[in-house]
Amino acid sequence: MNLKVDLAKCDGYANCVAAAPGVFDVSDDTGKVIVLTDRLDEESSDGVVEAVRDCPTRALSVDEGSS
Ligand code: SF4
């Protein structure tokens, strides 16, 4: 599963951090999301899917690519 982040859309709501705290953080400097890991394993992918769904600005997306 590949995660894509559109920083132009991110408005720092941190819903993604609530959904997957091990994967996302929000920068104090920019107010934008930071992706903490590229490794989306089985455990983190549920939270990531939830984060994509919960992001109010649709800044996050996933596809099923292998890398
Ligand atoms: S939920 Fe969306 S808008 Fe909010 S910090 Fe995460 S990516 Fe950005």
Report yes or no on whether pTM surpasses 0.85: yes
* CA 35 to ligand 1 center in whole angstroms: 11
- According to the model, what pLDDT value does residue 22 have? 95
- According to the model, what pLDDT value does residue 21 have? 96
* Residue range(s) defining the domain that contains residue 52: 2-63
In this structure, the residues whose C-beta lies within 6 A of any atom of ligand 1 are: 10-16, 24, 26, 33, 55, 57, 59-60
State the CATH number of the domain containing residue 51: 3.30.70.20
- According to the model, what pLDDT value does residue 17 have? 98
For 2-53, the pLDDT digits (tens) are 999 999 999 999 999 999 999 999 999 999 999 999 888 888 999 999 999 9
Provide the domain count of the chain.
1
Task: Tell me the three-class secondary structure of the chain, residue by residue.
Answer: CEEEECCCCCCCCCHHHHHCCCCEEECCCCCCEEECCCCCCHHHHHHHHHHHHHCCCCCEEEECCCC
